[in-house]
Structure 1
Amino acid sequence: MTEQQPSARLDKWLWQARFFKTRSLASRVVTDGQVRVNAHRVVKAATSVRPGDVLTFAQGARVRVIKITALGLRRGPASEAQGLFEDLTPAPEPGTPEAARVGPRPTKRDRRALDAFQDDQGSEA
């Protein structure tokens, strides 16, 4: 007959893939209707997802577009979680605050240099 492709609960997969810190938080995001599976809004945390499905959801200030490539067996390390999905999120547009954040967090030395630069700019005006 037809072979069933393995599936997993949506909230559990989001938690295993480390998009949300707790499973209850992932469940709440789904039940609030903030997740779309293959462009269809879902409100049940028990919605089945399979490899090949595309998820769209807000995470912080970003809208994430994720293609499921595998189902997890456990919530393992981040390196294992990154193998569960392919990130299709478009790059941030230039001029947005998110696009300005490139590279690591500034060091104390960087902050002092920036403060000195801003003081110099303020004294010229």
Structure 2
Amino acid sequence: MPKAEQNLPVETVRIDKWLWAARFFKTRSIAKSAIEGGKVHFDGERVKVSKEVRVGMELTIQQGFEKKTVIIKAISNMRGPAPIAQQLYEETEVSLAKRELLASQRKLHNLARPDHRPSKKDRRQISRFKQENDQQFDQHWSYNDD
């Protein structure tokens, strides 16, 4: 295909090619695998790789923990720089709010867990603490044959 024909505006393009051009996935084969794996939906239904996308369609795309709902604003079959790729779609307000809420919940969950293994000093303190509690328990609770 000559270079001049590639730059012409298009009205429809395959969904795997659009997802790649919009930089949701690094390669078309990864986009294809995600579509086949049920990670991309249109109107609540799974789509096929050959699905043609048009301006105004609403897609739900799941990538790892994140689930995005986007509205297609423009069609492109060429991958460009990230700022231009972000102009191809708009994420819905509900989707943004939900993703921010889930991200903050994951962050809080990670704060509740220690971020390192106990050091040798920490293990000695834990061991000492357990021994003291066992001794106190044994002193207060003893079996009596009265």
TM-score (norm 2): 0.60
User: Take 1:22 and 1:55, find their aligned partners in 2: how far apart are those partners?
Assistant: 19
Residues 41, 63 of structure 1: CA spacing in aligned structure 2 closer, same or farther, 3 A cutoff? same
Counting matched residue pairs gives 103
Select the structure that is richer in helix.
2
* Local SS of the residue matching 1:67: strand
1:103-124 Cα distance to aligned partner (Å, 9 max, x none):
xxxxxxxxxxxxxxxxxxx9xx
* 2:105 alignment partner AA: T
Among candidates 10, 17, 28, match of residue 15 of structure 2: 10
1:15-48 Cα distance to aligned partner (Å, 9 max, x none):
0000001110000100112211122221x21111
Trace 1:1-125 onto structure 2 (pairs within 5 A): 6-42=11-47, 44-88=48-92, 89-91=95-97, 92-93=100-101, 95-97=104-106
Residue in 2 aligned with 1:119?
none
How much does 1:54 deviate? 0.5
1:56-110 Cα distance to aligned partner (Å, 9 max, x none):
021121101111000014100001101100011232227512589xxxxxxxxxx
User: Take 2:38 and 2:106, find their aligned partners in 1: how far apart are those partners?
Assistant: 26
User: Take 2:24 and 2:69, find their aligned partners in 1: how far apart are those partners?
Assistant: 12
* Local SS of the residue matching 2:80: coil
TM-score (norm 1): 0.69
Whether the 8 Å CA contact 1:17–1:81 is kept in 2: the answer is: yes
How much does 1:8 deviate? 0.9
Runs of 5+ unmatched residues, structure 1: 101-121
Q: CA-atom RMSD, angstroms?
A: 2.8
* Local SS of the residue matching 1:72: coil
* 1:96 alignment partner AA: Q
Residues 46, 79 of structure 1: CA spacing in aligned structure 2 closer, same or farther, 3 A cutoff? same
User: Take 2:16 and 2:60, find their aligned partners in 1: how far apart are those partners?
Assistant: 13
